[in-house]
Amino acid sequence: MFVYNSDNVSIEIESGSYGDIIKQLGKLKIAIAADVEGEYFDLSAPLSKDGKITAITASSEIGLEIVRHSAAHLMAQAIENIWSGAKFGIGPCIKDGFYYDVEMPLGVVLNDEDLPRIEAEMKRLSKESIPVTRKELSYEDAIIFFEGRKDPYKVELINEIRSVSSDKDGKVTLYFQGNYVDLCRGPHIPDTSWIKHFKLLSVAGAYWRGKSENIMLTRVYGTAFADSESLALHIKRLEEARARDHRKLGRDLDLFSLSEEAPGFPFFHPKGMMILNKLTDFWRREHRKRGYTEIRTPLILDRALWMRSGHWDHYKDNMYFTEIDERPFAVKPMNCPGGIIVYKSRMRSYRDLPLRMAELGIVHRHELSGVLHGLMRVRCFTQDDAHLYCRPEQIKEEVIGIMNLCEYIYKTVFGFNYHVELSTCPENHMGTAKQWEIAENSLKEALEAAGAKYKLNPGDGAFYGPKIDFHLEDCIGRTWQCGTIQLDFQMPERFDLHYISHDGKEHRPVMLHRTVLGSLERFLGILIENFAGAFPFWIAPVQAKILTISDEYIKWARDVETILKGWGINAEADLRAEKLGKKIRDAQVEKIPYMLIVGEKETETRTISVRERSAGDIGSMTMDKLRELFEEVFDPTK
C-alpha cells in the first residue's frame, strides 16, 4: 500500500507508476517527472516510496535540468543517426544548457557548420514522440551490453561506478530512446516531444575525463528551454554577450593581448594597466579605511610548506614546481601559507587581534589549455587576498565587516546586484566533524546577524573550511563568483599558530581567508563585459579626449590637455589632420567618456565645447565649469 499527499489530496494505491498518481491529481499533461519528498522519479517508474508527491513541470528549476539532460540524449541520438559509429562520453546538463562529448568516426571532423544539420535531425526525432524508457541492469550485464555496442566510454564509467560502490552486485540504469541507448541515473522526459525549444551553440575540444593524457573528444554545446519565449530571450542574451566579449573589446580598446608564446598569461597594455592601477589604488584606500595592513610574500616557497598546509594533497596537480640548489620549491597558487609565515614572525597578543593582513599576491595555477578563456580563466593572476586572524568571539563581527565591504564595492561603487551562497563540508576535507560544525554555525550566525539571504550549497566548501561566496549579476543577467569568505580552523592548527591571551596562556587563533574582487584580471574582464568597454569615468583609461577642428587650434588643445592632466584627469589630444566628424566617431568607438572640441571660438574665449559619450553635445564651458563637472563624476569612492 502506497500513500501520497498533494494539494490536500490523499491517495492510496496498491501498485502502479508515479504517472498514475500524477494522473489522479489531474496534472499528467504538464508533468515530465515526479518529486516525492525531494527524490525524483520518471513518470513510468513503479511506485516505491510513500510521501508528498509533486508534479515536476518543464519550466521548474529541476524540470529544466531534466529537459536539458534529455536534450543532450536527443542530440546524441541525432549525431548517431547522421554519423554511424560515433561514440559518446559524458553528456550532462550545465547552467543554461547541456553538452555531450563525442568521439566522431574516423575521418569526420565536426564543426559549427554541422550544427544546423544536427538540429534538423533533433527536430525530426522530437516530432516522432519517441518514448523514453528506463531499464536496470547488473554491472556485469551492463558491461556486456555496452561492449556489444563497441562503447568503451560507457564500459569505463560502469567499471568506475562498481569500483566505488559498497554493493559490488549493484545495478545501473539505462535509458532507451528508439535506436539510442545511454547510461544514465535519470529521471528523463516521458518522450521526445517534450524537447521542442532548443538551440545548438558551438563545438569545442575536450579531453576525456578532463585529463590531457586522454583522447581529445568533440564537445557539442546546446541549450534548451520549456518555451520559445525563454529560448529567444536566452539567444538574445548570448548575442549580447558575444558583442561584449572582453577578448574582442580588450583588443579593440588596446587594453590587453593574448599570445601563443604564453598561453594563459595575459599581456597588459598601457591603457589596461591604467584601469588595473586605479582598481588597486581604490583597493588599498578602502582597506586602509577598514584597518587592514598590506604585506607581500614570495612567489616561490619550499615544497614542504605546501605539504604542511594541505595544498599538496588537494591541489598539487594545479601547481608549478622548480628546484633551487637541489631543494624542491613550488610556485604559489595561493597566498595563505606566505601570510601565515608573516603571522608567525613574532609573538601575537590578544590585543593585536583581529589582525587583518591584505595582499595583492601574484599566483600561478596550472589550468588545462582547453579551459583557458581570456582574462576569465588564466594561469597567472593577481589575487586580491586577505587573511584575518581573530579570537573565536570575534568571528561574527569580522565576517559582517567583510560582507559590508563587499556590499559597498559591488553595489555602491560598481552597481552590481549579487546573491550569497553558503558552502558546507566537502567529502574530501581536513579536520573533525566537530570543527566543521562549529565553523559552519559561525558563518550561519554571521549571515543571519547581517540579515543576509543566502542559498545553501552543501558539500562545496574549501577542503579546510566552509565558505560564503558572493555571486555578482551583470547587466545582461549572467552571474560571476567573485568574493569569498572562508573560515579555517585547520591552518592555525597545522602551522601551530598562537596568541597570548589576557590569562597569559597561549591560545589558537581562527583564520579567515577572503577575497572581494577575486582575481584582478578576471574582475577587469567582468567590468569590460558589464560596461561593454564604456567604463565609468573614474576608471576609464582615457577620460577625456581633446579634438581640434584644424591645426590652427593645436596650441589651445595642448594647453587644455596640460590643465586636465594637472587635475589628475587621463586626457589625450587628437591632433590629426582629420575632419571633426571622424575624430568624434573614433572617440565614440574608443568609448571615451568626454570629448572636448576646440575651434576658433573656443580658442578666442579660452573655453571648450563638451560632448558626453551617451548624451552627446552638452554645451560650451569655461575651464572652471568643466572642472566642476569632472569633480562631480571623478571618483565616487573618495
Residues annotated as catalytic are 336, 365, 383, 385, 387, 467, 513
For residue 575, the SS3 value is: coil
Q: How far is CA 79 from CA 99, 125, 205, in A?
A: 13, 11, 16
Contact 509, 492 (CB under 8 A): yes
Grid coordinates standing for 445?
550566525
Q: Using the 8-state DSSP alphabet, how is residue 410 labeled?
A: I
Question: Helix axis angle, 139-148 relative to 152-164, nearest 10°?
Answer: 170
CA-based nearest residue to 178, from 288, 306, 76? 76
Asked whether the bond before 354 is cis by omega within 30 degrees of 0, the reply is yes
Within a 10 A sphere around the Cβ of 292, how many other Cβ atoms?
Answer: 19
What contacts 363, CB < 8 A, 6 or more positions away?
Answer: 332, 333, 334, 335, 380, 381, 382, 383
3-state secondary structure of 490: helix
Identify whether the C-beta of residue 101 lies closer than 8 Å to the C-beta of residue 152. no
List, in sequence order, every beta strand (DSSP E) within 184-261: 197-207, 216-225, 256-257
What residue type is assigned to position 605 of the chain?
T
Q: Which letter does DSSP use for residue 370 in this model?
A: G
Q: Distance (Å, rounded) from C-alpha 344 to C-alpha 394?
A: 20
Check: CB of residue 547 under 8 Å from CB of residue 558: no
